[in-house]
Amino acid sequence: MATLSNQAIKGLKKIGDIFLPGNSEFPSYSQAGGTYKLNDIVKYAPEDDIASLNLVLIIFSFLPKFALAWLVTQMGNATETGKEGIIPTTLRQLDLGLRGILYSTYYGEFTNPDYKGKTPVELIDYSITRIED
């Protein structure tokens, strides 16, 4: 079963705070993101994919914030321009993958249990209805 390491989760929180920095109304990703549910999310993903994600996120955990902010800018530029080549394509894939993980754990139903304010879902006045068989 594939899992993310604690250091990888630290890296995800670090880059998550760049994508979702928070403001006077919304909490930052590291405050409210449901990272405690990440291993439940990734347990069915291919082991090689999660091993690669682990490596990238561990690297992120050691990078300074300005380097991560620059990388996020480059990912956005690669998405907007649509240039071809291995670097722009990799940046677009990274952008899409990170946004999927970050937004699903930020706007999902599982918020950080230590967070005591209004959740992002409550702030946007969205109600999640899950039907189980």
Q: Taking the model in full, what pTM does it have?
A: 0.85
C-alpha distance across the termini of the chain, in Å? 25
In a domain, 109, yes or no: yes
Phi and psi at residue 68, in whole multiples of 5°? -65, -40
Domain range for 71 is 6-123
pLDDT at 40 over 90: no
**Is the separation of the CB atoms in 59 and 11 below 8 Å?**
yes
Question: If you count them, how many residues does the chain have?
Answer: 133
Mean pLDDT in residue range 1-25:
90
In a domain, 129, yes or no: no
Choose between 1 and 70: higher pLDDT.
70
Mean pLDDT for all residues in the chain: 88
* Total domains present in the chain: 1
In a domain, 133, yes or no: no
In a domain, 131, yes or no: no
In a domain, 128, yes or no: no
In a domain, 99, yes or no: yes
CA 74 to the chain's CA centroid:
17
* Confidence at residue 54, expressed as pLDDT on a 0 to 100 scale: 93
Give the pLDDT confidence of 59-102 residue by residue, as tens digits.
999 999 999 999 999 999 988 887 888 999 999 999 999 999 99
Give the pLDDT confidence of 118-127 residue by residue, as tens digits.
888 888 888 7
In a domain, 49, yes or no: yes
In a domain, 108, yes or no: yes
